[in-house]
Amino acid sequence: MKLTILAVAAVALQLLAGSASAEALKLRVATEGAYPPFNSIDANGNLVGFDVDIAKAVCEDMKADCTLVAIPWDEIIGRLENNEYDLVVASMSYTDARAARMEFSSSYYRSHSAFAGDPNRFKDVAPAALKGVRIAAGKQTIQSEYLEKAYSESKIVLTKDEPEAQKLLQAGEVDLVLADSIDLLTFLQSPNNSKFDYVGDPVTNGFLKSSAHITAQKGNVELIKKVNEALDHLRLNGTYDRINNTYFPFSIY
């Protein structure tokens, strides 16, 4: 009788553990929704883009039931800290300041920053050559932080997000935009923006990190471990390449 009771108790504990595990895999995932082709909102109100597809593939690999939400960029870290979601998949670059507030996964793509504008007006993008020049960047991005540090004699214009910076360039309200070069690719390929191109060489230095990461709440190393395992699986089974090729004619890994 005692053995029977113990066996029943063991089964009950296993069922409870399984239930808790399943509950733990219900994840809330945030992205920005204003950073095409990585994340944006389509005409039907759906989140789409490279980041979104990567998030869905990671969730599928982890067998997690994920809900995706769009969060303004300047709120995305604070609201993660407030436990409004579990993961951020929004092309988040690594900085020491951010690492003090979040856990970072291994990188899931690499890029670099570049200036865009009218190449007939600008050739040299060194800080001394752009004195007084109006330069836009999305606020709270590594590009905006870099401009404020290195281009103090330029007129820095910080916008709510990257598309807003591009609109200012189109309208002639700024002279240059500094952004991720891959993000700028869609903008520059549009027929409406044929007068614009990359200006100068890509900006590569220790401050402008060139890799994007998935992030979680500080201390949640177990979740990031699962994310890293999922990212490895996507690379090995061809899923990553399929997603990459949907958006880009070259590998961004």
CATH number at residue 60: 3.40.190.10
CA nearest neighbour of 222 among 28, 86, 81, 63: 86
Q: How many domains does the chain have?
A: 2
Domain identity same for 156 and 215:
no
| Residue 166 belongs to a domain | yes
| Residue 138 belongs to a domain | yes
| Residue 12 belongs to a domain | no
Distance CA 7, CA 1 (A): 10
**Per the structure block, which two tokens stand in for 156?**
């820095």
**Per the structure block, which two tokens stand in for 237?**
């089974």
Low-confidence stretches of the chain (pLDDT beneath 70): 1-24, 209
Domain identity same for 29 and 148:
no
| Residue 9 belongs to a domain | no
| Residue 17 belongs to a domain | no
Question: What confidence tens digit (pLDDT) does each residue in 59-84 have?
Answer: 999 999 999 999 999 999 999 999 99
Domain identity same for 137 and 186:
yes
Domain identity same for 125 and 183:
yes
Give the pLDDT of residue 3.
Answer: 43
| Residue 6 belongs to a domain | no
Which residues make Cβ contacts (< 8 Å) with residue 87, sequence separation at least 6? 27, 28, 29, 30, 55, 214, 215, 216, 223, 227
Contact at 8 Å (CB) between 176 and 117?
yes
Domain identity same for 117 and 173:
yes
Sequence letter at residue 101? R
| Residue 165 belongs to a domain | yes
Q: How many other CB atoms are there within 10 angstroms of residue 88's CB atom?
A: 24
Burial class (CB in 10 A: 0-12, 13-18, 19+), 87: buried
Domain identity same for 179 and 219:
no
Domain identity same for 106 and 123:
no
Domain identity same for 93 and 125:
no
- Domain residues for the domain of 128 are 113-203
Domain identity same for 119 and 195:
yes
Give the pLDDT of residue 196.
Answer: 97
| Residue 4 belongs to a domain | no
